[in-house]
Structure 1
């Protein structure tokens, strides 16, 4: 699309959005000072919360047209959405990620305060938005109050208590289909959703990835979810979520004359043009997940008992196209390999808060038992089955945590947070012991202005796969937990219809667990995890204006300098530090405009990521990324709503990955649908 066409569309959209009319949706007014619960494990207004926090209500999410949490967060300040497939589609264990403040491995995801991270993965693309009341995003290391895996920040997904009675259906190009059913019967509410994406060709570049010289195509992506919640009373509820996704990738040779030379064997492999379009591999990925939680909260005493089970399977049907020989084999002579990971976590978290005249004291205990069954690389080659390896790993992790909140004066307050975490010995005899403190000082300049400063530690445990290996992964049993130090200064101010937020931060994380490609002696590739250091210094600015009941907008701007202290890994597994280099993006921005005219609600969102660096040697720069979305919602009456969502409005071919492989965003796509409340 040329520049004139883009400008014409923008002018038309603005003219449509700024047409006169009266509000019809009082519940869609943007809240300048929402109540948050995540940052300090207790309720407080955003203005009084000493952290960089974004709150997305269900209405906010609906205006983005998102069908999953992964999509909903891509227009949020300080967040980079990293994906290996468009529109919620991922490659098995290589799931999509939310990178907060440049920390790829450091996002802790909670559902109603319960962690869902397993083996470093959290599958946000599988969480539909229909059952969500709001999402709270806390930027900055938050492991002190929430434990491991919060080096970058915390995302808490808070589900609805009472569910609306509704049915919805949406259809679009690329075979897009989306269905939802929600109902409430007494104290029991449930939500069921199904999302489908059809055939998409050339979602990757043949210049990246292992091996080179091929592009990926998507044959199908399916996501189904069921969530039920029973509220015994206003303090106690039980919930269960079931989700299943199934994604089908097809790899084909590009046909351009690529060649590569193995640095160990000096053997050159040529990818001949004769293989253009020939199939290399069919990959089928599926994930099945169950999460059950019993939750109690009376304001001071909080308790959760939970069980999380995630079963991931990958089957690879290789077409047997040998690039260096130019031979092609039909699928009757193919071989296949498969792998599966069954991750289970069960745990309990109990805390209580006691109040006194000058503040409060909170003390809690957390226990998690992590289990993994890994079956790696069953193979069938020319009619002969070679069984893979089976491993069972367990780890028990305990934590005591607490918070002393003290008011020096009505305007000046301080929090001292702490956590002591230890594990029992695992299969390799590893035992970890970490103490992480955090100190926060807050001061109200006036009733509408607050400044704060904080310094704290964070940590992250290595996963079983990183320690003991898996499919194409070489284990590193001596891998250390990462340990970070975080500093932040913040300023928050509400002025009339405006809310201003600013945060200046710096962190350094030692021994981050980073994946490295290494070349084996036979020319194949493997992944080895090594401890590397990362650091970043940045500033975040946000502005929200609630102009009227009809019009609101928000904007965010970030500038940072994420760096990694890279290490080279030889075939023998030896590590050599090679200094610091830039990675990810330095400049980010986002803008959202919401307008209500009569029965029509119009929302436009756009985000920018610039000065991007690919996280692979020789660390080349990448083109800037622009993600955009335009959403129309027409409420015909109290029961009926029509909607039209246009994603990637400018039809850009943006790169949505940052690692060695290049994956592209979906072209301009739309979904038109109807929702009926009964």
Structure 2
């Protein structure tokens, strides 16, 4: 991008602070109420954890059309993606990486986990249905169990909805439409999002290992043909204490893989594969909340299908191992197309119940959680070079998981509180005879200097079980039945202070996770999983200020050292992801016009693949204008990737790029 244009764009963003801004609505509440970290309502200052709260107003000012986009400007979170906006590649969904722990993010909707097989499809929750998002950074969140080794993201939906319709369009074929309505006790929100054709969304992959110069896994680049996401969330409030909510999402993303001709020039830019990834998801929850007694029953269902139309290759498949071997496979025949598919059905059902009792110097909470996980996986025969692999297969797996959890909160003095959290998790033997049993404790201490300053410390353990796919494989994934579960130790010390209209949050953290479950694709297209170790030590600083009713600004800084140790690489620690992250922004209101600017920069990045090379910094920017014409009509313009950067948004061996400068303009009408 021309430097003069870049600086002019930045100048426009900054100059807007002189004549634009956000209504006098609450912007940055200095001490918001949170529920996620402690499983009860506490203020941010009294919570012994690093917590961020994104309100519906703040989400709107990022221009986000999905939770994934809303989180990318948060402190301590790295968005790892295989495509721009809400697009992902089947099982390789976009991830919110907290403190460098890629697989340790537990996502909740209204306090209920939605993770299935390590995936949580953040694009399936309409942002207009969200009241707020609470982010708890740091592992050892034992009150929620497995998969919380990095942190917890709790998406809290609105109890009532405003009656509104919204429409926006932009370049790259971007379209976004949504509608909300409330009728008595029933509220509903619908959203549709579309992205059009995008060429060369990735760098051509490098030919790998023994197949260098011949295998089509090298020299492939990716085009997006289209992405479509349709979601609905509704809620029925039987009473102030009892409500039912349901979310349905239906997504379809079409990728086209083309060859760069590095080993066979006649096939340059020829289509090697068309892949369509589709998902249908249902999340149903019944909640009861009466004072200190809380209960929920839930059912999650995700049907996922990947369909591939692949050019005929000069390759064979071993009848013994099922692995592909190539013989100058770059000479594929794009005129002859073979078809295969993989289908997953993941189901989770269960209940969560807890009660809290209060006494003179504190409280005691105990609860029980039951979760039943089921997976059905179906694969088609694979046709390559006129040879058919072994017949497609259908596999079913299931396991029952039980947990008893609790918390003893004790006021040691008027200024000191000590909490002991615990969770005992065990599983019945699954379909292949695997069973797990783990006790995870956590101890926290909070000292209140006064009503505006606290110091906290915490130490805890985490535990995460392998998924069915990791254990038993499927498609091109080779199962490892003896894969060990992850176990981690986590430590954190933090200081929180409010000064006038400003908030300061500072913490130091360290974790080490043994037997971290990691994918090994060195023998691509075959993928296996292995146990590795990861660790990270770092500091985080956050500051926000509400200057007046019209102007607010905020910033965050994270410096860490995420590392991984793998036995196949001599058990030596190596860096991965990024060491330093900065995020910041402002919003300003003048009259009817609101301007909000957000930025996130990730630097000192290292690939999570040999030779662990450093690569380009990543910078996300967003400029959002909102004009409230009257009490019913709002016009908006959102400009994403303001400086038109061509950044890599993945950290593995493949390089996927963010979308170039894109905009969406539209209108929202409330009635």
1:496 corresponds to which residue? 500
Contact 2:381-2:388 within 8 A present in 1 as well = no
Q: In structure 2, do the counterparts of structure 1 residues 651 and 321 end up closer, same or farther at CA, with 3 Å as the change threshold?
A: farther
1:220 corresponds to which residue? 226
Aligned-partner SS, 2:564: strand
| Bigger Cα displacement from structure 2, 174-183 vs 205-214 | 205-214
Q: Which residue of 225, 233, 239 corresponds with 2:239?
A: 233
Aligned length: 650
CA-CA distance at 1:383 after TM superposition = 10
1:13 corresponds to which residue? 13
2:345 corresponds to which residue? 342
Separation (CA, whole Å) in 2 of partners of 1:634 and 1:248: 35
Matched, 1:597 2:590: yes
Aligned-partner SS, 1:145: coil
Matched, 1:113 2:111: yes
1:376 corresponds to which residue? 379
Separation (CA, whole Å) in 2 of partners of 1:577 and 1:342: 38
Contact 1:208-1:662 within 8 A present in 2 as well = no
* Equivalences for residues 40-79 of structure 1 within 5 A: 40-79=38-77
Aligned-partner SS, 2:72: helix
Separation (CA, whole Å) in 2 of partners of 1:146 and 1:209: 42
Contact 1:278-1:321 within 8 A present in 2 as well = no
1:145 corresponds to which residue? 143
Separation (CA, whole Å) in 2 of partners of 1:408 and 1:612: 44
| Bigger Cα displacement from structure 2, 10-19 vs 33-42 | 10-19
Separation (CA, whole Å) in 2 of partners of 1:428 and 1:297: 38
Matched, 1:462 2:455: no
Structure 1: runs of 5 or more not aligned: 258-270, 569-575
Contact 1:237-1:294 within 8 A present in 2 as well = yes
1:351 corresponds to which residue? 354
* Equivalences for residues 88-127 of structure 1 within 5 A: 88-127=86-125
1:297 corresponds to which residue? 289
Q: In structure 2, do the counterparts of structure 1 residues 514 and 327 end up closer, same or farther at CA, with 3 Å as the change threshold?
A: closer
CA-CA distance at 1:380 after TM superposition = 4.7
Contact 1:546-1:552 within 8 A present in 2 as well = yes
Q: In structure 2, do the counterparts of structure 1 residues 153 and 325 end up closer, same or farther at CA, with 3 Å as the change threshold?
A: closer
Aligned-partner SS, 1:14: helix
Aligned-partner SS, 2:312: coil
Q: Which residue of 503, 507, 510 corresponds with 2:511?
A: 507
Contact 1:380-1:386 within 8 A present in 2 as well = no
CA-CA distance at 1:566 after TM superposition = 1.6
Contact 2:27-2:58 within 8 A present in 1 as well = no
Contact 1:280-1:321 within 8 A present in 2 as well = no
Separation (CA, whole Å) in 2 of partners of 1:295 and 1:396: 22
Please list the CA deviations of residues 606-628 of structure 1 after superposition, one character each: whole Å capped at 9, or x if unmatched. 00000000000111111100100
Matched, 1:317 2:309: yes
Please list the CA deviations of residues 537-556 of structure 1 after superposition, one character each: whole Å capped at 9, or x if unmatched. 00000000000110000100
Q: In structure 2, do the counterparts of structure 1 residues 677 and 503 end up closer, same or farther at CA, with 3 Å as the change threshold?
A: same
| Bigger Cα displacement from structure 2, 637-646 vs 312-321 | 312-321
What TM-score comes out, normalization by structure 1 length? 0.94
* Equivalences for residues 409-428 of structure 1 within 5 A: 409-428=413-432
Contact 1:209-1:662 within 8 A present in 2 as well = no
Separation (CA, whole Å) in 1 of partners of 2:535 and 2:388: 49
Please list the CA deviations of residues 201-229 of structure 1 after superposition, one character each: whole Å capped at 9, or x if unmatched. 00011135871101100001000001110
Contact 1:209-1:661 within 8 A present in 2 as well = no
1:661 corresponds to which residue? 654
Separation (CA, whole Å) in 2 of partners of 1:12 and 1:119: 45
2:211 corresponds to which residue? none
Contact 1:274-1:326 within 8 A present in 2 as well = no
Separation (CA, whole Å) in 2 of partners of 1:78 and 1:377: 41
Structure 2: runs of 5 or more not aligned: 209-216, 315-326
Aligned-partner SS, 1:646: strand
Contact 2:140-2:489 within 8 A present in 1 as well = no
Separation (CA, whole Å) in 1 of partners of 2:35 and 2:534: 29
Q: Which residue of 272, 276, 293 corresponds with 2:268?
A: 276
CA-CA distance at 1:377 after TM superposition = 3.7
2:575 corresponds to which residue? 582
Contact 1:474-1:526 within 8 A present in 2 as well = yes
Contact 2:483-2:531 within 8 A present in 1 as well = yes
Contact 1:143-1:149 within 8 A present in 2 as well = no
Matched, 1:31 2:38: no
Aligned-partner SS, 1:556: strand
2:134 corresponds to which residue? 136
Separation (CA, whole Å) in 1 of partners of 2:341 and 2:4: 50
Contact 1:365-1:401 within 8 A present in 2 as well = yes
* Equivalences for residues 327-338 of structure 1 within 5 A: 327-331=331-335, 333-338=336-341
* Equivalences for residues 487-636 of structure 1 within 5 A: 487-519=491-523, 525-568=525-568, 577-636=570-629
1:261 corresponds to which residue? none
Separation (CA, whole Å) in 1 of partners of 2:114 and 2:603: 31
